[in-house]
């Protein structure tokens, strides 16, 4: 009952069949939860099973989630973490004091805020650049020779599209590595490693788990022998940012429906973006699926099967009108986060007023509900 070879199957099959994992002890079609923190040794005082010693380094449920993710991502290896930010931190902790890093401006605010603080404390030169402007990114790479560049596409909440292939070439030419946060795209829509990224990061709290009930993060790599990947693995083993077995099991369960959820969320998001584009109370809609979006052509090459669940739009009349609409929405919960089965809406200016977010901007995470119901809700909230 060993896992079947899954490499030749499409993502929907790999995910639904949990990459071939079963419960070997019972024949159950669902892999079990392994809560043990420690593992016995045999008569020769060798680890009795699979080299397992202690769950900071050997976490069977984490390994199951990693196996599924690595196949969906086309990765050589994957690692899960107790949050997306723990994965971000694991990457940055590999940098030497005095290094230079390039980070895309106007990305997920939690990442920007933590990186600024970390780099200041560690004497790391931080260069922030609008990476969706490829020429600026290339110039910054040539000038600063960063050890690492960090990009996010589509960016949250601006929905800017970064040319992964061009950015990878530029940072590689400068001797550095490219790390791409593809939380909003998911591996179903964009396999970042195939575009030249060295490491792909996901907040697994979002679409990978998809049910707003697990906090988790993930990294995937193209080369498991690379120095940075080895350093991250050593850091996780030694510093202990390990995802617990129950969370890892829930994440694995969530990922089994990822392709289906991403398909529906993206189709719904496209319908809502089109509806809002025609709405008299809406100033602009930011969604890469719209032909009017600056990054549409690039997104169409880099994203397949849809453009993701995140849609931002600017309501005419600023903060007051935007917050008024939020209050009237019945189906969209006013809450942060994204990528879950239920639709959410957020007034980002309230959260990050200092980052240049338009006061009327609302960011929606579109769920898997009926698109007609969601459009009716937007219609009554915006007044039509």
Ligand X SMILES: *Cc1c(COP(=O)(O)O)cnc(C)c1O
- Residues making contact with ligand X (CB under 6 A): 83-85, 108, 110-111, 152, 156, 181, 183-184, 203, 205-206, 215, 217, 338
Q: How many other C-beta atoms can be found within 10 angstroms of the C-beta atom of residue 116?
A: 13
d(CA 357, CA 217): 26
Least distance CB 204 / ligand X (angstroms): 7
Least distance CB 157 / ligand X (angstroms): 9
Cα-Cα-Cα-Cα dihedral sign, residues 58, 59, 65, 68: positive
Least distance CB 310 / ligand X (angstroms): 9
* Number of residues written out for the chain: 384
Site of tokens 């993930």: 218
d(CA 41, CA 79): 25
Is the peptide bond prior to 154 cis by the omega test (within 30 degrees of 0)? yes
Token reading at 141: 């790479």
Contact 139, 127 (CB under 8 A): no
In the three-class reduction of DSSP (H, G, I as helix; E, B as strand; rest coil), residue 260 is classed as helix
Least distance CB 52 / ligand X (angstroms): 27
Least distance CB 218 / ligand X (angstroms): 10
Least distance CB 320 / ligand X (angstroms): 27
Contact 180, 201 (CB under 8 A): yes
Between residues 336 and 384, which has the closer beta carbon with respect to ligand X?
Answer: 336
Residue with the CB atom nearest ligand X in the bound state = 84
Between residues 68 and 215, which has the closer beta carbon with respect to ligand X?
Answer: 215
Between residues 83 and 281, which has the closer beta carbon with respect to ligand X?
Answer: 83
Least distance CB 85 / ligand X (angstroms): 4
Between residues 55 and 156, which has the closer beta carbon with respect to ligand X?
Answer: 156
d(CA 32, CA 111): 34
Contact 304, 262 (CB under 8 A): no
Least distance CB 5 / ligand X (angstroms): 32
Token reading at 351: 């959260």
Between residues 21 and 151, which has the closer beta carbon with respect to ligand X?
Answer: 151
Between residues 198 and 346, which has the closer beta carbon with respect to ligand X?
Answer: 346
d(CA 67, CA 61): 10
Contact 287, 269 (CB under 8 A): yes
Between residues 85 and 258, which has the closer beta carbon with respect to ligand X?
Answer: 85
Quote helix, strand, coil % in the chain, to nearest 5. 40, 15, 45
Between residues 161 and 381, which has the closer beta carbon with respect to ligand X?
Answer: 161
Token reading at 160: 């800017």
């Amino acid at each position: 009952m060993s896992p079947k070879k899954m490499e030749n199957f499409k993502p929907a099959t790999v995910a639904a069949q949990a990459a071939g994992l079963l419960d070997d002890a019972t024949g159950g079609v669902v892999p079990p939860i392994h809560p043990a923190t420690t593992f016995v040794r045999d008569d020769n005082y060798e680890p009795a099973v699979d080299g397992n010693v202690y769950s900071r380094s050997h976490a069977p449920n984490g390994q199951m989630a990693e196996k599924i993710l690595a196949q969906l991502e086309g990765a050589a290896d994957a690692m899960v973490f107790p949050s997306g930010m723990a994965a971000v931190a694991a990457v940055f902790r590999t940098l030497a004091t005095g290094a230079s890093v390039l980070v895309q401006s106007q990305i997920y605010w939690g990442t920007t805020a933590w990186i600024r603080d970390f780099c200041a404390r560690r004497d790391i030169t931080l260069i922030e650049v609008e990476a969706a402007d490829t020429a600026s990114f290339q110039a910054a790479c040539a000038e600063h020779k960063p050890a690492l560049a960090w990009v996010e596409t589509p960016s949250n909440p601006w929905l800017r599209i970064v040319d992964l292939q061009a950015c990878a070439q530029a940072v590689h030419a400068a001797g550095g590595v490219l790390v791409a946060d593809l939380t909003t795209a998911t591996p179903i829509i964009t396999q970042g490693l195939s575009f030249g990224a060295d490491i792909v990061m996901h907040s697994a709290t979002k679409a990978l788990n998809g049910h707003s009930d697990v906090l988790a993060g993930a990294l995937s790599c193209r080369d498991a022998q690379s120095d940075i990947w080895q350093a991250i693995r050593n850091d996780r083993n030694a510093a202990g940012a390990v995802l617990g077995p129950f969370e890892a099991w829930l994440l694995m369960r969530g990922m089994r429906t990822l392709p289906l959820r991403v398909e529906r969320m993206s189709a719904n998001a496209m319908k809502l973006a089109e509806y809002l584009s025609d709405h008299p109370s809406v100033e602009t809609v930011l969604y890469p699926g719209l032909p009017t979006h600056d990054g549409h052509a690039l997104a169409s090459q880099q994203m397949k099967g849809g453009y993701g669940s995140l849609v931002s739009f600017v309501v005419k009349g600023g903060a007051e009108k935007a917050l008024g609409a939020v209050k009237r929405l019945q189906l969209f919960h006013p809450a942060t986060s994204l990528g879950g089965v239920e639709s959410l809406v957020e007034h980002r200016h309230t959260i990050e007023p200092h980052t240049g977010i338009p006061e009327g901007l609302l960011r929606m995470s579109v769920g898997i509900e009926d698109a007609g119901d969601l459009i009716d809700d937007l219609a009554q909230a915006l007044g039509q």
